[in-house]
Amino acid sequence: MRDVLIFDMDGTLFDSRQLLNQAIDNTLQYAVEQDLHEHKGWTEADRVAVIGLPFYDAFQWLLPEASAETLEMLEPVLDRFILHEMDNGEGSLYEGVPGTLQQLKDEGYRLYVASNGNAEYVPSAIEREGLTDLFEGIYSVQQYQAVSKVNLVRLILDDAGRDAVMIGDRASDIEAGKENGLPVIGCRFGFGSEEEVSIADELVDEFSGIPALLKEKQL
């Protein structure tokens, strides 16, 4: 049995739709107000579409004419807006997350987080929801300067061993698992499209379905 479970955070553990939608919107408005980019008429659908992506991938898509220097300037701006929304109480766990994580830990699994989120936001969200003690490690791309989630998951495997399963909702999660030779569970309830998650090895419609799926498929 693979005893290490690596979870994405946004769209897998944490429903950050409103939190990140607002933080991204504020960052885009800041860019326009500071004459860093022209207004592109972004919609909520545009903003939600990039939730869970690495910062540079997300903002290169939202701000196609922005220079590398502009994007570098905007990353800490987004970080500040995210933490502001966190302080306002935005975001919540998906239904069943605390109990399911506790069940998995009680069954002997070692739990890790691998997120594209920023270095302060990711552990703060986990701590705010009272989950910190359930995880053996909380990793973010920004914290470890890992460039991509593929590299971030590789770092976790170096620490935890390679008997692992990757669980997430976006193409970057599935790629991170597959590029590291791991089976991947795709979460249909998150931010990824059906097309994105369909390339995972297995799919779940709700978080609480993960323990049964692990047993059924002997992952």
Q: Are residues 209 and 123 in the same domain?
A: yes
Question: Would you say residue 1 has pLDDT above 80?
Answer: no
> Do residues 119 and 69 share a domain?
no
Q: How many domains does the chain have?
A: 2
Percent of the chain surpassing pLDDT 90: 93
184 contacts: CB under 8 Å, gap ≥ 6: 165, 166, 167, 168, 173, 174, 177, 178, 200, 201, 202
What per-residue confidence (pLDDT) applies to 36? 92
Range 153-163 average pLDDT: 96
Residues 209 and 113 in one domain: yes
Domain CATH for 149: 3.40.50.1000
Task: Give the residue from 56, 87, 118 where a domain finishes.
Answer: 87
Query: Residue 42 is which amino acid?
Result: W
Domain around 30: 17-87
Q: Please give the Cα distance from 189 to 205 (Å, whole number).
A: 6
Q: Indicate whether 10 and 98 sit together in one domain.
A: yes
Of the candidate ranges 117-121, 178-182, 187-191, the one whose mean pLDDT is the lowest: 117-121
Boundary (domain end) residue, out of 61, 87, 113: 87
Per-residue pLDDT at 54 = 86
What percentage of the chain has pLDDT greater than the value 70? 100
Which stretch of DSSP H or E encloses residue 184?
strand 184-187
Give me the mean pLDDT over the 119-145 stretch: 95
Q: What is the pLDDT of residue 24?
A: 97
Q: Is the pTM of this model over 0.75?
A: yes
Is it the case that residue 39 has pLDDT exceeding 80? Answer: yes
